Amino acid sequence: MSLLDMTAVELAAAIKAGKTTAVEATKEVLAQIEAKEQLYHCYVTLDKEAALAQAEAVQAKIEAGELTGPLAGVPVAIKDNMCTEGMLTTCSSKILGNFVPTFSAEAVLNLQKAGAIILGKTNMDEFAMGSTTETSAYGETKNPWNPEHVPGGSSGGSAAAVAAEECFYALGSDTGGSIRQPASFCGVVGMKPTYGTVSRYGLIAYGSSLDQIGPLAKDVTDCATILEVIASHDTKDSTSVERQDTDFTKALVEDVKGMRIGIPNDYFGEGLDEEVKSAVLQAAKVLGEKGAIIEYFDLSLVDYAIPTYYTIAAAEASSNLERFDGIKYGYRTEDYAGLHNMYKKSRSEGFGEEVKRRIMLGSFVLSSGYYDAYYLKALRVKALIKKAFDEAFAKYDVILGPVAPTTAPKLGESLADPIQMYLGDIYTIAVNLAGLPGISLPCGKDSKGLPIGLQLIGDCFQEKKLIQTAYTYEKARGEFPMAAKEVC
């Protein structure tokens, strides 16, 4: 078995047992990047020398017994919207094309303390605004299952890097599905934890009330292990939640007897691809055979989640992105006449189309005269959506459905019609509005050979039920090899 085929947990165990070293693993993954990166373009920034230097330092600490954790010595890729001290952090935007942070995101620091080796920064939709990774200012990432298709987004580089074995695992961020949807399109496992579980300190904000960092990995065990490492209470993030139950790996138990699983009828209506539908329902059947109680129910309000989300996310984005002004960091225009013209020109030249579209919409819905009708209205509907989930979780432990209505679309097919692209977020977006945890894992392939994702949604703070259900399904399903093994 090649080192590259190992999961993160398997690799750390092999390093610990002296069967290989962090340096050896880093060299292998760098060689894989060398061979595949030109085709897939998963990364915006790579620092091979720094990765090897980290690997040597980490290996020494492992041998000295100072690093003993389940991820020690494993190379990781970080989405390019998380600050990394001394390493370029662009958010895949021209406006941050030269930004080198002076500090690292808390989630990245937590990984480094656990002995992670940072390979580089992965490509994404600009400022995480998009569902295909095509809005990146640095070119598109290709889906390793078929390079004519998108990897999904916005964490498309992270998902593709895991699938192409250009890293052992990756961090992503999820504002409306940006971890779960690319995980689904690339045939990997991705998890968005409960809002507040992972510190947002050092995550460049898009929609602050919705953003969460989470893992993209080869299997459920890796996912639970990574989440356990990155979850922490952080006083530098005022919405960070103090939790005692972050020992997520305890939930890696193969048992769903009596687990109440609800399937929303409204997730299986118009627009859902037949092959996706049948693969997801087959997964539900597998869980039923393992002893879970499967029931159908009406979640309600599903069609209202997307307009609610785009109102709130655009409003928060317009406020968050005000900081990019050409003064403190990032791009400044060459020619300008006075301060305000400098702001306007720097921002107009530095931001891409989708980002500008959302900033303008956000500015509009927050402007006086429209604030009540649009922004407050959306916050009221958000309360109704949260209530609908509360009622569902009074009856069920887990909600099961698809991640996205289709498998990965072809490159170039999505951006022409933004609203059509937004509709692809229909099953993931409400989870962010309600602050819930969700996991996406592979449950089959369509006739084109593209992966299909199964989504499990839990009540707030119930990650363990999700992990247990996902783990049990994964065991029953059997191995789902990475794209690198199947098609590359």
Partner 1 sequence: MANIISDETIEYVGILAKLELSDEQKEQAKKDMGRMLDYIDKLGELDTEGVEPMSHVFPVQNVFREDVITNSDTREELLVNAPEEKDGMFMVPRTFE
* 92 a catalytic residue: no
Q: Indicate which single residue of 245, 367, 410, 449 sits in contact with partner 1 (rule: CB under 8 A).
A: 367
Is residue 371 near partner 1 by the rule CB under 8 A?
no
Contact of 280 with 477, CB cutoff 8 Å: no
Is residue 75 near partner 1 by the rule CB under 8 A?
no
Burial classification of residue 285, based on how many CB atoms lie within 10 Å of its CB (0-12 exposed, 13-18 middle, 19 or more buried): exposed
Within a 10 A sphere around the Cβ of 328, how many other Cβ atoms? 8
Q: Whole-angstrom Cα distance, residue 39 to residue 22?
A: 26
106-114, 147-155, 286-294, 427-435 -> range binding partner 1 (CB under 8 A): 427-435
Q: Whole-angstrom Cα distance, residue 391 to residue 229?
A: 32
Helix (H, G, I), strand (E, B) or coil at 276: helix
70-78, 116-124, 156-164, 297-305 -> range binding partner 1 (CB under 8 A): 297-305
Nearest to 169 by CA among 104, 236, 122, 238: 122
In this complex, which beta carbon is closest to partner 1, that of residue 44 or of residue 436? 436
Chain centre distance of CA 206: 13
* 79 a catalytic residue: yes
Q: Indicate which single residue of 48, 94, 277, 357 sits in contact with partner 1 (rule: CB under 8 A).
A: 357
Is residue 97 near partner 1 by the rule CB under 8 A?
no
Binding residues for partner 1 restricted to 394-423, rule: CB under 8 A = 418-419
What is the per-residue DSSP string for 319-336?
Answer: HHGGG-SSSSSS---SS-
Contact of 22 with 55, CB cutoff 8 Å: yes
Helix (H, G, I), strand (E, B) or coil at 214: strand
Size of the site for partner 1 (CB under 8 A): 69
What does R_g of the chain's alpha carbons equal in angstroms?
Answer: 21
* 178 a catalytic residue: yes
34-42, 165-173, 276-284, 319-327 -> range binding partner 1 (CB under 8 A): 319-327
Helix (H, G, I), strand (E, B) or coil at 121: strand
110-118, 122-130, 274-282, 310-318 -> range binding partner 1 (CB under 8 A): 310-318
Is residue 434 near partner 1 by the rule CB under 8 A?
yes
Q: Indicate which single residue of 132, 135, 155, 311 sits in contact with partner 1 (rule: CB under 8 A).
A: 311
Is residue 208 near partner 1 by the rule CB under 8 A?
no
Annotated active-site residue in 79, 121, 142, 382: 79
Binding residues for partner 1 restricted to 266-295, rule: CB under 8 A = none
Is residue 329 near partner 1 by the rule CB under 8 A?
yes
Q: Whole-angstrom Cα distance, residue 398 to residue 474?
A: 16
Contact of 386 with 372, CB cutoff 8 Å: no
Q: Whole-angstrom Cα distance, residue 227 to residue 336?
A: 46
Is residue 167 near partner 1 by the rule CB under 8 A?
no
Site string for partner 1, 451-470 (x = CB under 8 A): ---------x----------
Q: Whole-angstrom Cα distance, residue 55 to residue 53?
A: 5
Annotated active-site residue in 92, 178, 346, 414: 178
Binding residues for partner 1 restricted to 229-248, rule: CB under 8 A = 235, 238-239, 241
Residue 348 identity: S
Nearest to 101 by CA among 73, 81, 115, 119: 81
Q: Whole-angstrom Cα distance, residue 82 to residue 122?
A: 10
In this complex, which beta carbon is closest to partner 1, that of residue 160 or of residue 313? 313
In the bound complex, what is the minimum distance in angstroms from residue 378's beta carbon to partner 1?
6
Is residue 339 near partner 1 by the rule CB under 8 A?
yes
Annotated active-site residue in 92, 104, 154, 240: 154
Sort residue 28 into left (φ over 0), alpha (ψ -120 to 50) or beta.
Answer: alpha
Q: Indicate which single residue of 243, 364, 415, 445 sits in contact with partner 1 (rule: CB under 8 A).
A: 364
Strands 212-217 and 189-192: antiparallel
Q: Indicate which single residue of 35, 348, 412, 449 sits in contact with partner 1 (rule: CB under 8 A).
A: 348
Within a 10 A sphere around the Cβ of 461, how many other Cβ atoms? 18
Is residue 94 near partner 1 by the rule CB under 8 A?
no
Which residues of the chain form contacts with partner 1 (CB under 8 A)? 98-100, 102, 195-196, 209, 235, 238-239, 241, 301, 303-304, 306-308, 310-311, 318, 322, 325-332, 336, 338-345, 347-348, 351, 356-357, 359-367, 374, 376-384, 386, 418-419, 433-435, 460
The catalytic site residues sit at 79, 154, 178
